[in-house]
Every structure is written in C-alpha cells, then in structure tokens.
Chains A and B, each alone.
Chain A
C-alpha cells in the first residue's frame, strides 16, 4: 500500500518531546536512585520489621524484604523496578488513549478516515509507534540505570547486561497498560471513561499482586488474574528475564490488541 508507514512516522514524530522528557526523566531518576544505594540500604537494613508490615507489603510486595533489600539486586528491583512501571503507567495510558481515543474525542478521525486508509491500519500503525516509543523510553531509563551502576562502587558486582534486561523486562507490563487503554477506548467510546477504567484496573492489579504475597490464601487465585503478577523484577535481577511471564504478558497484549481492532472495525465513530 502506498500509504504504509505514514501514520506510524507521524505518531513517532509527534511524540518526540514525550519520548525525550519521559526517557531522560526516568533515566535521571534511575541514576539518582542507584547512586544512593549505599546510604539508603544502610538506613533500611535494620528495619526488617517495618518492611514486613502489611503497609509496605502493599506497596512493594515480595520486594519488601529487608534481607533482599540490602543486596544490590534487591535494591535495584525495589527502587528502580517496582515503582518505575507505575510512573510509566501514566505515559503508557496516555499513549494507549492516543491510538484512537484522542483523535476520536477531538473529531480529527473524521478527516483521517476520509483518506483511503482502513481503520485497522490506523490502529496497527499507531500501536507500532507506541511499541517503539515505550522501547525508547525504557532504553533511556536503562541507560540512566547503567550510569548509576557504573558510578556506584558498591554496585560493582551487578552485571550491566542484567540492568538493561531488567529495564527491558518492563516492556510487556507497560504495553499491557497501553493496550488496556486502547481496548477500553474502542469499546467504551469515551476517552475519560477509558482512562478511568484503565487506571482503576492498573491500580487494583498492582495492589492485588503485592498483597497476595502476605495473603496467599485470600488472594492467591485472584492474583493469577492480575497482570502485575506476571512481572517479577526481583527474579529478573537475580536470574534474568522470566520468559514464561514475558510471554504471558505478550499474549495479553496481543489479545487486547486483536479485540480492539475487532471492536473498532465494527462500531460507529463518534462525532
């Protein structure tokens, strides 16, 4: 097709400021956090009771483990990897809404779809751009983390490859967030509603997964339904990317993506 890639390039170009500000921002954050490793890990070392309290478990899940926390891998997974997806969530949801919801709400879709381009192609090209954008942002985050490791003598044992892998391991979980936003904007037709529902699911999933580490019985089954349960920064820092979980998240993304196209092809475009 003669127009292949036009929307993809346009989306990337229009996101250049976002990519740089989010990427560099996260990179600096990672760098800062890692260079603070010696002082923070020391301060928290004697606080095992506190860290094992339900309050901290809710926020940090299995990472709230004082023993692990004092190790470089535990520290990195807690400080850098447990929270970063939550920061990136904001951007990922915005990107997901950017696939169709923003243009539909503003009304520019009527002009865009006046050109000879099928609806599915709009979703495919914009989503491909979202994938690249998140990759770039996580890469910049990883570069910041690498610099942090290099600048901190106490982290000398940490493998640089592992750090990059850890940053890359956030891709599927953030893609799920973007795909949720896309899916709900194709089904609910309202940008605000889609943003609200997606945000609620992300937060619920995050807490269900973390709390299930202290309430195995009550939450064990339901946590299997929570996509955050398939993101394990501590395991990734210790043994590399957990490919089975990586694959599960990719399947979720693919399913949401497919359903989005299915729904969008069939419905009315709002004015």
Chain B
C-alpha cells in the first residue's frame, strides 16, 4: 500500500457514474493531517457523492480512496472507528430522544463520553432530552454534529455542516472546528458558502460538474478575493481618486454613484470614502466561479 506523504485522505482517480449521469470523474485529491479542508461546488457538483464514497456507502465505478492509509472499501470498519460523519441529508430515529440517539451510536462505538457530550450540547445550546421528531431541522443538525464529534475522531467528514444553523451556532461551530484542527485532527467539509469556507478552511477544492476545478490554499485565494462595491455619495466624487487606490479597479461613476472592484483590504477605500458624505454603501460577494476564473486568469 502506497501511503503517500502524510495524507489522511488520498483519493485516486475516483469516478462514479449513475447510468448516464457522470457524478464524479477521475477525482484526485490529498488531504493532510491537521488540515481544515473545504470542499466547494454548486448543487449537483458531486460533493455528497465523494463523501458517501469515502464512507463506503456507495461504491466507485472506478478509482479508489485511502483514509489513514487504509482502503476506503476493504478497511471501512477500521476507518470508521476513527472517523466522525455528518451526512448532508441527516435523518435520525424519530422515536428517540437526543440522549437515546447518542447512547445508541455511542454503544456502537464501544462507549460514550457523556461528560464531553454534555459539554458539546451546552456549547451548541442543544436540548438533549427532546425527541428527534420534536426537533427543528437546526436542532437535528446540532444533534448530528454532536454524534459526529462525540468520540473525538481523528477525521471529521461533514457534508454542509452549517446548513440550517443560526449565525450564533455557526460561530460556535467555527470555534469547535478551529479547536479540532489545533489538536492535529483533520476536517473535511463541504459547503456552498464561500465566506464560511474562507472563515475556517486552510485549503479549498472546487468541484464543478463532477470534476475537480482547482485546489488552492485559502491564503492564496484571498489575494484575489475581490468584491464589487457601490458607493452612493452626496455630491460628485472624483472617480480618479478611487481609481488611484491600491486594489481598486474598473471604476464607473453615474449620478453620484460609484461602482468599482476592490481586491484585498477595504481600509483605503473606507478612509477615502469618509472624506465624503456617504449615503449608502453596498458590496456584493463574488461567486466562487468568478473568483476562480480570476485566479486562473491572472496566473
């Protein structure tokens, strides 16, 4: 077995066809120990397909994957001992309470650290005595997170973990993820949401139409991370003054409204704008597609 470098996940030519649907084509990817790895892509890109293959829930048409240097199919049971999993479409046993779900799954793992579960429940503000069928979708998601984290796995595979969580809980989730990565444990998470990935991930892969479009360090991406900003000012502003700023380009002016592109820090723009009477300021997050087009266009 070729245990290349220190890859926790090593994916080699993974391909999955559902009849004529090519869900995944020749995926090659390494995720290293201690990394928080973001897996991004639009709907139907193949994120869930990849994750369910890693968990041996579905079988690849061709190619293979290794986790902890073990074959994802042959050694799946041994892998799952050290792995925590949050499915994208989470479904839990309706007739059980939160604690019953945790105890059941905990028993299947040979025991459960109730103290730690209680701590996670507190931090996520989860009522564990409630029956699953009485839980809102966000509460189910929290329970899903708790069961994925409860045995302190070496690898977490999370399919759209923050989907349906309120902003406060999302923040808690981000700090949990940072703690996990600082303990040298690895996180592989899928998302649609670029700001979220930007917030927690060290590296990010972009999947499009079942093919890997790019894998980059977040810090490199941030260099080209730009937004479109629209400033409405009372009185006419000189577009040239903005144009001259570092990181600002494509300025257009129309009836006191300026629109331009900002790359990198916002600070110079804010300082300059402060010299005017600002009526309104909006900016649009770019889509991932545009960022990546940009990234590969300029390199």
Contacts and interface: CB of A to CB of B under 8 A. Distances in A.
Given A108-B93, A269-B57, A114 B48 contact: no
A108 B92 contact: yes
Contact of B110 (A3, A7, A14, A269): A3
B89 interface: yes
A270 to B, nearest CB: 9
A43 interface: no
B277 interface: no
Contact of B80 (A10, A106, A116, A267): A116
A42 interface: no
Interface in B78-121: 78, 80-81, 83-85, 87, 89-93, 95, 104-105, 107-111
Interface in A100-114: 106-114
A7 B108 CA distance: 8
B104 A116 contact: no
B87 A107 contact: yes
Interface residues of B, number: 32
A6 interface: yes
Contact of B108 (A6, A14, A110): A6
A15 to B, nearest CB: 12
A39 interface: no
B6 to A, nearest CB: 23
B107 A118 contact: no
A266 B59 contact: yes
Contact of A114 (B83, B107, B111): B83
Contact of A108 (B56, B91, B109, B148): B91
A57 B109 CA distance: 55
A268 B77 contact: no
A118 B77 contact: yes
Given A106-B91, A111-B92, A117 B59 contact: no
Given A108-B91, A108-B93, A268 B57 contact: yes
A121 to B, nearest CB: 9
A3 B48 CA distance: 28
B147 interface: yes
Contacts of B55: 110, 113-114
Interface string A215-246: 00000000000000000000000000000000
B58 interface: yes
A6 to B, nearest CB: 5
Nearest to B87: A110
Contact of A111 (B56, B59, B76, B90): B90
A116 B93 contact: no
Given A110-B87, A111-B92, A268 B109 contact: no
Nearest to B157: A114
Interface string B123-150: 0000000000000000000001001100
Given A7-B108, A114-B80, A266-B59, A271 B89 contact: yes
A109 B78 CA distance: 18
Given A106-B91, A268-B58, A268-B59, A111 B81 contact: no
A233 B87 CA distance: 49
Interface string B172-216: 000000000000000000000000000000000000000000000
A146 B129 CA distance: 44
A111 B147 contact: yes
B78 A6 contact: no
A267 B52 CA distance: 13
Contacts of B144: 111
B58 A269 contact: yes
A3 B108 CA distance: 5
Nearest to B144: A111
Interface in A103-150: 106-118
A115 B108 contact: yes
A115 B55 CA distance: 10
Contacts of A268: 57-59
Interface of B: 48, 52, 55-59, 76-78, 80-81, 83-85, 87, 89-93, 95, 104-105, 107-111, 144, 147-148
Interface of A: 2-3, 6-7, 10, 14, 106-118, 266-269, 271
9 contacts: A2-B111, A3-B108, A3-B110, A111-B87, A114-B84, A115-B105, A116-B78, A117-B80, A268-B58
Given A108-B91, A118-B76, 14 more contacts: A7-B108, A110-B52, A110-B55, A110-B85, A110-B89, A111-B85, A111-B144, A113-B56, A115-B80, A115-B105, A115-B109, A116-B81, A118-B77, A271-B52
